[in-house]
């Protein structure tokens, strides 16, 4: 039996995953709050944390280093709809033991929990290889991403989705000016003239229209 804290602000996903895991004998507590997560971890003391990166008034990628600082032995599985190509390596570097995207069958989560508790790292193919790549001096996207802070990565992904500065500021509880500063800083770090170039360089895609 594994004691699990599941953090996700989608009630249907929480319910389905809780039922699935409890059928295997695990004890699962669910919450949608990222703001009070540290306090709940102190109270619950779970063996495994299943963490979404997109939470109301909190960002999972920002929370990870703080969680590991307070609970260095806690096992963490990131369960998110965010793209693995951008976020899997970041979550590994921040201290997570596993990463699975929500577009995978829900039944895949349970065996990953067992593997993580057995001491394995469970990440998409190629993630561990990219860990070595980021230390090399090249213009590969993985190396360019290494120049960005975790918060910049979060902002960049929201910009790719077409969200406005105000929408991103509201989601991250920041000011519009702060989001603009992040955009300018990322452009400077990659030597890009505009946001379209930056997104094409990092995500390997064509032109995008942004306001």
Span 55-78, pLDDT tens digits: 776 778 888 988 999 999 999 999
Q: Are 140 and 147 in contact (CB under 8 A)?
A: no
Q: Where in the chain is the domain with CATH 3.40.50.2300?
A: 3-131
Q: Where in the chain is the domain with CATH 1.10.10.10?
A: 141-203
Higher-confidence position of 62 and 101: 101
Angle between helices 60-70 and 84-94 (to 10 degrees): 20
> Can you give the pLDDT at residue 32?
83
* Max mean pLDDT range (42-51, 142-151, 161-170): 42-51
Q: b/e for 111-139, b at 16 or more Cβ within 10 A? A: ebbeebbeeeebbbeebeebeeebeeeee
Asked if pLDDT for residue 102 goes beyond 90, the answer is yes
Dihedral sign for Cα 60, 65, 68, 74, please: positive
141-203 carries CATH number 1.10.510.10: no
SS3 138: coil
Using CA atoms, how far residue 209 sits from 13, 140, 166, 167, 193, in Å, is: 32, 24, 17, 16, 14
The class that CATH gives domain 3-131 is alpha beta
Mean pLDDT score of the chain, rounded to an integer? 85
Q: What angle do CA 205, 208, 210 make, to 5 degrees?
A: 145
Give which of 154, 208, 210, 142 is closest to 179, Cα–Cα. Answer: 154
Q: What whole-number distance in Å separates Cα of residue 145 and Cα of residue 100?
A: 20
Residue 209 binned pLDDT confidence (cut-offs 50, 70, 90): very low
Asked if pLDDT for residue 87 goes beyond 70, the answer is yes
The pLDDT tens digits for 147-206 are: 888 888 888 888 888 889 998 888 788 899 999 999 999 999 888 999 999 888 877 643
Asked if pLDDT for residue 117 goes beyond 90, the answer is yes
Looking at the DSSP bridge assignments, the partners of residue 50 are: 6, 77
Q: Are 79 and 8 in contact (CB under 8 A)?
A: yes
Range in 38-42, 106-110, 146-150 the model is least confident about: 146-150
Residue 211 binned pLDDT confidence (cut-offs 50, 70, 90): very low
Higher-confidence position of 82 and 193: 193
Q: What angle do CA 72, 112, 30 make, to 5 degrees?
A: 65
> Can you give the pLDDT at residue 55?
79
């Amino acid at each position: 039996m594994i004691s699990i804290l599941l953090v996700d602000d989608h009630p249907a996903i929480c319910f389905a995953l809780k039922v699935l895991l409890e059928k295997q004998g695990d004890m699962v507590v669910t919450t949608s709050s990222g703001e009070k997560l540290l306090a709940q971890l102190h109270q619950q003391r779970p063996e495994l944390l299943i963490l979404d990166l997109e939470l109301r008034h909190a960002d999972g990628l920002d929370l990870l280093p703080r969680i590991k600082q307070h609970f260095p032995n806690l096992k963490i599985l990131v369960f998110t709809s965010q793209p693995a190509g951008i976020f899997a390596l970041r979550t590994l570097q921040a201290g997570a033991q596993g990463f699975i995207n929500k577009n995978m069958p829900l039944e895949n989560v349970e065996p990953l929990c067992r593997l993580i508790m057995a001491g394995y790292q469970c990440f998409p193919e190629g993630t561990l290889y990219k860990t070595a790549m980021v230390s090399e001096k090249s213009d590969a996207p993985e190396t360019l991403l290494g120049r960005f802070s975790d918060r910049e990565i979060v902002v960049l992904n929201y910009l790719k989705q077409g969200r406005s500065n105000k929408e991103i500021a509201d989601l991250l509880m920041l000011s519009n000016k702060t989001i603009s500063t992040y955009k300018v800083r990322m452009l400077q770090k990659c030597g890009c003239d505009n946001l379209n170039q930056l997104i094409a360089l990092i995500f390997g895609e064509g032109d995008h229209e942004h306001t």
